[in-house]
Amino acid sequence: MKTLSDQAVGTAHGKIILIGEHAVVYNEPAIAMPFLATPVEVIIEKIDGDSVISSSYYQGFFKNVPSSLKNIYTLTETICADLNQSADGMSISISSLIPPERGMGSSAAVATALVRALFSYFKKSLDQTSLLNYVDISEKIAHGNPSGLDARVTSSESPVYFKKNSRFTSIPLHVSGYLIAADTGMKGQTKKAVEDVAQQMKQSYKQTRQLITKIGLLTEEAKTAIEENHTVHLGELMTLSHDCLKQLNVSNEALDHLVDTALKQKALGAKLTGGGRGGCMIALAKTAKQAKRIAHKLMENGAVETWIHALGEDFND
């Protein structure tokens, strides 16, 4: 007979949109990248009595979690019911380096790590389809109508190519180099930015459509660059994409300043990531030393946090 583990660990990581944001709304492709520099870990330990939870949002009895953690509560109760296990007797500790509300997949990553930890704790096997289905339960509570992208990318180590209303496609990660992300310290304004682009489509259809189409073409080129290790070209495509996003008026002064700072430090490319009007930007560097220098300069120029993710050990471009 299988017994419970005394301790179980589940992990996940953040995600970033590498290229294609906003254009993806108009049926152009986009690429999302797993961002391992922002890990999430959930540890479950066996205790006596009622379950407790420890996180940056709340510490206390699990049954008394605030509404901001309702998704985590419902997910845990659902899994325990499905596995015929009690939801009592657990100490659940959540630690995450993903900044919330920055478009980096924070809620999906926490849910992914929790599902993995629970299945490990109850000594049950977990396949990818079941994992994604469970994370979707949590994401529907957190976001209403999730695309499933965050769940897919925060649980995988492969980039994902996607189009609206189409299946996600994993891309082999053959590109090398270092990806830097920097937080402006401002919440992104995705909803307003998307609405404003839609308004531009009505007022200046031809010009706006050309920009959207160009971002789509840049994304297709980026897919090839990732598959064939054309790191320098990938950087160029990122910068060209940012120029298009600027013309769509979804950037802002803080993002543009950080992008310009990275490019002055010889980044291969730089752009905003996600909805824009705040949130984060990303830059691509050739070496670890260069990435650290760029990250340092970004902090000097207004970034509140930076992260560096190694895409590969060698650089052969």
Question: The domain containing residue 290 runs over which residues?
Answer: 176-312
Q: Are residues 152 and 301 in the same domain?
A: no
- 239 found inside a domain: yes
- 140 found inside a domain: yes
Mode of pairing for the β-strands spanning 59-61 and 30-46 = unpaired
Q: Are residues 54 and 86 in the same domain?
A: yes
Q: Are residues 192 and 132 in the same domain?
A: no
- 122 found inside a domain: yes
Q: Are residues 103 and 85 in the same domain?
A: yes
The pLDDT value recorded for residue 125 is: 98
Question: Cα(57)–Cα(145) distance, rounded to whole angstroms?
Answer: 23
- 2 found inside a domain: no
Q: Are residues 153 and 215 in the same domain?
A: no
Question: Cα(5)–Cα(120) distance, rounded to whole angstroms?
Answer: 7
Q: Are residues 69 and 217 in the same domain?
A: no
Question: Cα(239)–Cα(260) distance, rounded to whole angstroms?
Answer: 10
Q: Are residues 260 and 280 in the same domain?
A: yes
Please state, in angstroms and as integers, the Cα–Cα distance from residue 236 to each residue in 25, 146, 175, 271, 289, following that order.
23, 31, 14, 10, 20
Q: For residue 275, which of 1, 25, 3 has the smallest C-alpha distance?
A: 25
The pLDDT value recorded for residue 143 is: 80
134, 169, 204 - which closes a domain: 169
150, 169, 188 - which closes a domain: 169
Question: What is the number of other CB atoms lying within 10 angstroms of the CB of residue 105?
Answer: 30
What region, left, alpha or beta, does residue 151 occupy, with left being phi > 0 and alpha being psi -120 to 50 degrees? Answer: alpha
The pLDDT value recorded for residue 312 is: 65
Q: Which position has the token pair 């520099």?
A: 37
- 98 found inside a domain: yes
110, 140, 169 - which closes a domain: 169
Q: Are residues 36 and 160 in the same domain?
A: yes
Query: DSSP letter string over 234-296?
Result: HHHHHHHHHHHHHHTT---HHHHHHHHHHHHTT-SEEEEESS-SSSEEEEEESSHHHHHHHHH
The pLDDT value recorded for residue 100 is: 83
35, containing H or E segment: strand 30-46
- 1 found inside a domain: no
- 317 found inside a domain: no
Q: Are residues 92 and 211 in the same domain?
A: no
What 3-state class would DSSP assign to 124?
A: coil
Q: Are residues 249 and 181 in the same domain?
A: yes
- 111 found inside a domain: yes
The whole-model pTM stands at 0.89
- Total domains present in the chain: 2
- Count of positions (residues) in the chain: 317
Tokens of 59: 């510490």
Q: Are residues 223 and 246 in the same domain?
A: yes
Q: Are residues 133 and 195 in the same domain?
A: no
The pLDDT value recorded for residue 2 is: 46
Q: For residue 317, which of 282, 285, 290, 288 has the smallest C-alpha distance?
A: 285
Query: What's the DSSP call for residue 99?
Result: P
CATH number at residue 22: 3.30.230.10
Residues 233, 211 contacting (CB under 8 angstroms): no
Residue 205 CB contacts under 8 Å (≥ 6 apart), including other chains: none
Q: pLDDT tens, position by position, for the chain (317 residues)?
A: 345 667 999 999 999 999 999 999 999 999 999 999 999 999 999 999 999 999 998 999 999 999 999 999 999 999 999 999 999 999 999 999 998 888 899 999 999 999 999 999 999 999 999 999 999 999 999 887 777 899 999 999 999 999 988 889 999 999 999 999 999 999 888 888 999 999 999 999 999 999 999 999 999 999 999 999 999 999 999 999 999 999 999 999 999 999 999 999 999 999 999 989 999 999 999 999 999 999 999 999 999 999 999 996 443 33
What 3-state class would DSSP assign to 42?
A: strand
Query: What's the DSSP call for residue 100?
Result: T
Question: Cα(149)–Cα(134) distance, rounded to whole angstroms?
Answer: 14
CATH number at residue 181: 3.30.70.890
Question: Cα(112)–Cα(11) distance, rounded to whole angstroms?
Answer: 7
134, containing H or E segment: helix 128-143
